[in-house]
Chains A and B, each alone.
Chain A
Amino acid sequence: MNYIVTFYNETYKILLLLIPILVSVAMIVWFDRRVWGFVQRRKGPNVVGPFGLLQTAADALKYIFKEIIIPASSNKIVFILAPIVTMTLALSAWAVIPFSDEMFISDINVGILYIFAISSLGVYGIIMGGWASNSKYPFLGAIRSAAQMVSYEVSIGIIIINVLLCVGSLNLRDIVLAQEKLWFVVPLFPMFVIYFISALAETNRPPFDLPEAEAELVAGYQTEYSGMMYAMFWLGEYANILLLCALGSILFLGGWLSPVDIYPFNIIPGVFWMIFKILLLFFMFAIVKAIVPRYRYDQLMRLGWKVFLPFSLLYVILTASFLVYFDLLPN
């Protein structure tokens, strides 16, 4: 009986998290296209619904009613599995994100490692999709994107080590609570910049959208996908972007903490600040998409391995020696 109650409670909590996330992914796609439009002095999607808010719903409807085409020479099981893997992984990482002091599904000791592990699994959706399509462009796109994601994961890992040195715990709530006096964006500002750029590369966003560079590879690993399966790739991608925005706000921008601890600000619930910070980071993602040209592949690899990796390693040594010298090491 106890199990059933627990099961019911957990399911209820999970649905309460997943449905808002899926809805906000839809909204964020609209927001992305809208910002993109405004930067280029267009209007963007503004026809369906007020301000075009229902544009994504219309798109989703279109995808649902389209036919799913499975190429005859593809590896069918892996082909169908790929979008499912992408979307499941993108959504399951949200289980440990704390939205406020008591709003989270699970509060595990190795929260940051969990997110890191799940996001490193994300590459399989892409490789499986590219390989199972049994076609040239998807395969090239998948290989490119796997190399890119593995490279930038390394630098994200070292950036996380920087933050963990200042916190002394792998728990995401502890990471936020350690920033009560000073957000980590101030002492670790260079790391914040590198995190932002690596997150762009990790989620295959422009200017690093080489896996799906349409001028070279048609649509990369998604070329053979159609209908709802394509939409699932798409949803997973945006859920991943939101996840990295949330992780960035937890690591550097103080999570649910209000920016100043004075009267009108500190009565606003923490959830509001968390969502505000996620949206702020996403706004930066959207702006970058509109204003920066695409990188060449060798430049991308050079940036990851020869610039970011040595610099963040150096910063780890700097942070560690600073903490040891001034005796600020957390227990």
Chain B
Amino acid sequence: MIAHALFFYFFSIIAIISAIFVIVSRNTVHAVFFLILDFISISCLFIMIGAEFLGMMMLIVYVGAVAVLFLFVVMLMNVTEQKLSWFRGSKKSGHIPIGLIVGSVILLELIVIVGGWKYRNTFAETKFLSFDPNFTNTHLIGNVLYTEYIHLFQISGIILLCSMVGAIVLTYRKREGAKKQKYFEQVSREREDSVKLIDAEFDKGVKIDD
């Protein structure tokens, strides 16, 4: 058990420190790298409590896909060196009051939730998530997700699809004069379509444009 505890503290300390550095670091790309480190150590914690499926999904979805997109956006928007003039200089910014309002609302909500929260030690014996050593937790999650919660699961899928379609609609613009390759036309071109044999009269030549 000692090794288990040591690993737990190791991963959770890394998770907390990197979460702090996500906010503190001035270079935005570094912040995203710390976010990735945070995700990785949290998925290690998931694996340590035996939720190996969740841990792997965390790695695949958050680190493998979402964080790559974050990194793309941060690198391409050229905001790597964030200006600290908002806090240090005399220039006023409209962001700080909004940020303070949102932050205080979230803090208030957290206080309300945590204040009303009671620790239930019967949590592990909830009806649908009963632990069965004969099945892997992939099986158990699948059983719950596709029977009890099938409607919620499908609805969340639809919501994701809608937002995807919305994002494409918002960013789509028709570009004039863009050249596209038409594969089927290219492949189905025959000799007759493109080559024409003409008997050229002597000393007169041929007008190609006819």
Give A contacts to B, CB under 8 Å.
3, 78, 108-110, 113-114, 116-117, 120-121, 123-124, 127-128, 131, 139, 143, 146, 150, 153, 169-170, 298-299
Interface of A is mostly: helix
Among A117, A131, A299, the residue within 8 A (CB) of B64 is A117
Report if B22 contacts A (CB, 8 A). Answer: no
One of B2, B33, B136, B181 near A170 (C-beta < 8 A) = B136
Whether, in the assembled complex, B60 has its beta carbon less than 8 Å from a beta carbon of chain A, the answer is yes
In the complex, which residues 1-59 of chain B have their Cβ closer than 8 Å to any Cβ of chain A?
A: 2-3, 29-30, 33, 36, 52-53, 56-57, 59
- Which of B3, B52, B63, B181 contacts A108 (CB under 8 A)? B52
- B64→A110 contact, CB < 8 A: no
The docked-state distance in angstroms from the alpha carbon of A108 to that of B137 is: 12
The docked-state distance in angstroms from the alpha carbon of A170 to that of B137 is: 11
With both beta carbons as reference points, the residue of chain A lying nearest to B74 in the complex is identified as A131
* Residues of chain A within 8 A of B63, CB atoms compared: 117, 120-121
Q: Please give the distance in Å from B144's CB to the nearest CB on chain A.
A: 17
Q: Return chain B residues, CB-CB under 8 Å to A139.
A: 75
Verify A113–B53 contact, CB threshold 8 A: yes
Closest to B69 in A: A150
Shortest B125–chain A CB gap in Å is: 23
Question: In the complex where A146-B68, A150-B65 touch, is A110 in contact with B52 (Cβ < 8 A)?
Answer: yes
**Best-surrounded residue of B63, B64, B138 (most CB of chain A within 10 A):** B64
Tell whether, in the assembled complex, residue B75 and residue A110 are in contact, meaning their CB atoms are under 8 Å apart.
no
CB closest chain-A residue, reference B138: A170
Q: How far is the CA of A162 from the CA of B29 in the complex (A)?
A: 37
Measured in the bound complex, the distance between the Cα atoms of B5 and A324 in whole Å is 45
CA distance A114 to B30 in the complex (A): 26
Interface residues of B (CB under 8 A from A): 2-3, 29-30, 33, 36, 52-53, 56-57, 59-60, 63-65, 68, 71-72, 75-76, 136-138, 181
- Interchain nearest-CB distance for A253 vs B (Å): 24
Minimum distance in angstroms from A195 CB to a CB of chain B:
18
The contact sample of 5 A-B pairs, CB cut-off 8 A, is: A78-B33, A108-B52, A109-B138, A120-B64, A170-B138
Complex alpha-carbon distance, A8 and B42, angstroms = 27
Q: Which residues of A contact B75 (CB under 8 A)?
A: 127, 131, 139, 143
Q: A108 vs B50: C-alpha distance in the bound complex, in angstroms? A: 11
The answer for the CA separation of A169 and B53 in the assembled complex, in Å, is 12
Q: Is the CB of B68 within 8 A of A109?
A: no
Query: Which 5 A-B pairs rank lowest in CB-CB distance, beginning with the nearest?
Result: A120-B64, A117-B59, A113-B56, A109-B136, A117-B60
Tell me the complex Cα distance, A113–B181, Å.
37
Which among A117, A123, A143, A150 is the interface contact of B56 at CB below 8 angstroms? A117
| In the bound complex, CA of A123 to CA of B66 (Å) | 13
Given contacts A78-B33, A109-B138, A121-B63, contact A146 B56 (CB under 8 A): no
Q: Is the CB of B64 within 8 A of A109?
A: no
Give the complex CA separation of A290 and B72 in angstroms.
Answer: 33
Q: List B contacts of A127 (CB < 8 A).
A: 68, 71, 75
Q: In the bound complex, what is the Cα–Cα distance between A123 and B65 (angstroms)?
A: 10
Expressed in whole angstroms, the Cα–Cα distance for A170 and B138 within the complex equals: 8
**Residues of B close to A116: CB separation below 8 A:** 56, 60
User: Which of B2, B53, B75 is packed against the most chain A CB atoms within 10 Å?
Assistant: B75
Tell me, in angstroms, the Cα distance from A110 to B50 when the chains sit together: 11
CB distance from B7 to the nearest CB of A (A): 11
Chain B minimum-CB-distance residue to A77: B30
